[in-house]
């Protein structure tokens, strides 16, 4: 069989909203051309993030019913702990309400003012939590990761030579070392088993504890199985277990490979660290047998951690990302190569060469996708990372990307085909897509609340002539 089908059938459905072009133009203007400010009722297909947007299985919903909502010593905690311990091998399993709470507690325990934390690429909440503790977050990813066209299979690798030199110079100022699997900031790209083994060896030789940011451990394990010589005969579970065994602990967001809508944990072997972490947990998350989650969340999470390693699920998951990537490339939309785990990244700098970086080509592309088909994706370029200078200039981001993140088990192949058809229409009209002006820039994390306007009113001629569609359902 060459068709890779969704390995599930549908038991509950949720209607998706449809809008007309006219409505989308109005809604977008009201939202100041920032897709974060749109109501979800105005969005037909939402590819903003894969975080917390998964569809849960019948088994997960059933598990929620047997949850034991005891304040202390809940049976649900022991079930959760057993699943996480069997998967990771770590001694201490500490639930948190999501990944960033695990990060905050870990760094509060291990990090002192002025200390460094190396990683392939720090995810934005990880970096923010390190900096909040007065630490420095350093990125030591391999050089191949910077080239969107390189199809190097393990762009999530740490540059081990740089790491060695870095630790030789700084070992006494490094609180802990990390590796993010898969590398979300670098495009959902995996790290190889050989590289994680190498990282563990270098960190440990320098006496630095090694923690994984394990949010997408199953997608990383599957890509090791598919891409790394000598790994094809092992199961994703066996590979994941070996990866966890190389580190001293991990932080995890269940909203990714836990296939749940909320949840996270810290796991580690160090008893003193676990004691400190549990003491902090009680202050802000809750008692250590629930840690910011309801017992029913722990139950669903425990089941999700098993389902995510099902070979049929992983095959379908990775095939659907690749299908979208290859479909976009076939119609002339360049993307970062190769296909990663959870998302496809459109290279807007290359696709819209007539829009200069200071006019936010990624934002233009995201706006065009919403207007054309009610699809929401996320700019990852100069809106997020560009920096205005004191003399009124602007330093753009190195890359201008639009991330199409795929929620787990939510959309079918026909939904993806719709996205491809809609993108083909954008290709036909791309000369008419203009730049965006940022009319209001908030001081922090500008992408969430910045306001924009289309330069030279390019949206009017491009979409004003299109015939209005029927309105099956108005957003509300």
Q: In this complex, which beta carbon is closest to ligand PLP, that of residue 23 or of residue 192?
A: 192
Stretch that binds ligand PLP, among 251-259, 299-307, 359-367, 368-376 (CB under 6 A): 251-259
**Interface with ligand PLP (CB under 6 A), residue from 115, 253, 289, 363:** 253
Three-class SS of residue 436?
strand
Q: How far is the CB of 129 from ligand PLP (least distance, A)?
A: 9
Cross-strand bridge partners of residue 46: 376
CA 212 to chain centre: 15
Q: How far is the CB of 258 from ligand PLP (least distance, A)?
A: 9
Q: In this complex, which beta carbon is closest to ligand PLP, that of residue 256 or of residue 409?
A: 256
Q: In this complex, which beta carbon is closest to ligand PLP, that of residue 28 or of residue 267?
A: 267
Q: In this complex, which beta carbon is closest to ligand PLP, that of residue 125 or of residue 145?
A: 125
Q: Residue 446, interface with ligand PLP (CB under 6 A)?
A: no
Q: How far is the CB of 468 from ligand PLP (least distance, A)?
A: 39
Q: How far is the CB of 99 from ligand PLP (least distance, A)?
A: 2
Contact positions with ligand PLP (CB under 6 A) in 73-102: 98-100
Q: In this complex, which beta carbon is closest to ligand PLP, that of residue 51 or of residue 157?
A: 51
Q: Residue 249, interface with ligand PLP (CB under 6 A)?
A: no
How many residues touch ligand PLP under the rule CB under 6 A: the total is 15
Handedness of CA 376, 378, 382, 388 (dihedral sign): positive
Handedness of CA 319, 323, 329, 334 (dihedral sign): negative
Q: In this complex, which beta carbon is closest to ligand PLP, that of residue 186 or of residue 198?
A: 186
Torsions phi, psi of 377, nearest 5? -125, -175
Give me 408's structure tokens: 């787990």
Q: Residue 255, interface with ligand PLP (CB under 6 A)?
A: yes
How do strand 436-440 and strand 210-213 relate by DSSP bridges? unpaired
Q: In this complex, which beta carbon is closest to ligand PLP, that of residue 51 or of residue 57?
A: 51
Contact positions with ligand PLP (CB under 6 A) in 183-212: 184
Q: Residue 213, interface with ligand PLP (CB under 6 A)?
A: yes
Contact positions with ligand PLP (CB under 6 A) in 109-138: 123, 125-126
- In angstroms, the CA 344 to CA 148 distance is 11
Query: 426: exposed, middle or buried (C-beta count within 10 Å: 0-12, 13-18, 19+)?
Result: buried
**Which residue is associated with the tokens 């209001």?**
440
Q: How far is the CB of 7 from ligand PLP (least distance, A)?
A: 24
- Residue 427 DSSP class: H
Residue 424 and residue 395 in contact, taking contact as beta carbons nearer than 8 Å: no
Q: In this complex, which beta carbon is closest to ligand PLP, that of residue 24 or of residue 256?
A: 256
Give me 356's structure tokens: 């200069």
Handedness of CA 102, 103, 107, 110 (dihedral sign): positive
* Residues ≥6 apart with Cβ < 8 Å to 269: 90, 91, 92, 248, 249
How many CB atoms neighbour CB 336 within 10 A?
Answer: 26
Q: Which residue is nearest to ligand PLP (CB)?
A: 99
Fill in the per-residue mask, 138 to 177: x = in contact with ligand PLP (CB under 6 A), - = not in contact: ----------------------------------------
Q: Residue 256, interface with ligand PLP (CB under 6 A)?
A: yes
- In angstroms, the CA 317 to CA 407 distance is 10
- The total number of residues shown for the chain amounts to 476
Q: In this complex, which beta carbon is closest to ligand PLP, that of residue 213 or of residue 379?
A: 213
How many CB atoms neighbour CB 379 within 10 A?
Answer: 28
Q: Residue 51, interface with ligand PLP (CB under 6 A)?
A: yes
Q: How far is the CB of 276 from ligand PLP (least distance, A)?
A: 20
CA 400 to chain centre: 17
CA 323 to chain centre: 19
Q: In this complex, which beta carbon is closest to ligand PLP, that of residue 314 or of residue 426?
A: 314
Interacting residues toward ligand PLP by CB under 6 A: 51, 98-100, 123, 125-126, 180, 184, 213, 215, 253, 255-256, 264
């Amino acid at each position: 069989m060459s068709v890779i089908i969704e390995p599930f059938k549908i038991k509950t459905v949720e209607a998706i909203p449809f809008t007309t072009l006219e409505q989308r133009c109005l809604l977008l203007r009201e939202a100041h051309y920032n897709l974060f400010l749109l109501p979800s009722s105005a969005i037909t297909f939402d590819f903003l993030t894969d975080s917390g947007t998964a569809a849960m299985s019948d088994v997960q919903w059933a598990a929620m019913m047997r949850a034991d909502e005891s304040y202390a010593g809940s049976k649900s905690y022991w079930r959760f702990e057993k699943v996480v311990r069997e998967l990771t091998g770590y001694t201490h399993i500490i639930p948190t309400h999501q990944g960033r709470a695990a990060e905050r507690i870990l760094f509060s325990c291990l990090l002192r003012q002025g200390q460094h934390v190396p990683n392939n690429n720090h995810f934005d909440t990880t970096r923010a939590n390190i900096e909040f503790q007065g630490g420095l977050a350093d990125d030591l990813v391999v050089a191949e990761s910077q080239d969107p066209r390189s199809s190097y299979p393990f762009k999530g690798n740490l540059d081990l030579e740089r790491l060695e030199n870095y630790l030789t110079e700084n070992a006494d100022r490094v609180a802990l070392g990390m590796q993010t699997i898969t590398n979300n900031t670098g495009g959902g790209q995996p790290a190889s088993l050989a590289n994680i083994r190498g990282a563990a060896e270098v960190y440990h030789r320098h006496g630095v504890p090694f923690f994984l940011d394990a949010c997408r451990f199953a997608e990383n394990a599957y890509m090791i199985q598919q891409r790394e010589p000598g790994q094809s005969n092992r199961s994703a579970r066996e590979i994941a277990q070996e990866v966890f065994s190389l580190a001293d602990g991990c932080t995890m967001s269940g909203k990714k490979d836990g296939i749940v809508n909320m949840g996270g944990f810290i796991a580690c072997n160090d008893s003193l660290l676990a004691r400190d972490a549990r003491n902090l947990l009680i202050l802000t998350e809750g008692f250590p047998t629930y840690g910011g989650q309801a017992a029913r969340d722990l139950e669903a999470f425990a089941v999700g951690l098993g389902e995510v390693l099902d070979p049929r699920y992983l095959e379908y998951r990775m095939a659907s990302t690749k299908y979208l990537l290859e479909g976009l490339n076939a119609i002339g939309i360049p993307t970062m190569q190769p296909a990663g785990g959870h998302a496809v990244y459109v290279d807007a700098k290359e696709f819209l060469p007539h829009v200069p970086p200071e006019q936010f080509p990624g934002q233009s592309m995201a706006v065009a996708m919403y207007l054309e088909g009610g699809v929401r994706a996320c700019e990852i370029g100069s809106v997020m990372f560009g920096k205005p200078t004191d003399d009124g200039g602007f330093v753009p981001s190195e890359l201008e990307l639009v991330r199409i993140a795929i929620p787990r088990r939510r959309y079918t192949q026909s939904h993806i085909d719709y996205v491809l058809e809609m993108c083909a229409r954008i290709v036909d009209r791309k000369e008419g897509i203009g730049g965006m002006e940022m009319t209001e820039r908030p001081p922090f994390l500008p992408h969430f609340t910045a306001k924009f306007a289309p330069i030279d009113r390019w949206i009017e001629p491009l979409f004003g002539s299109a015939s209005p569609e029927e309105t099956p359902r108005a957003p509300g």
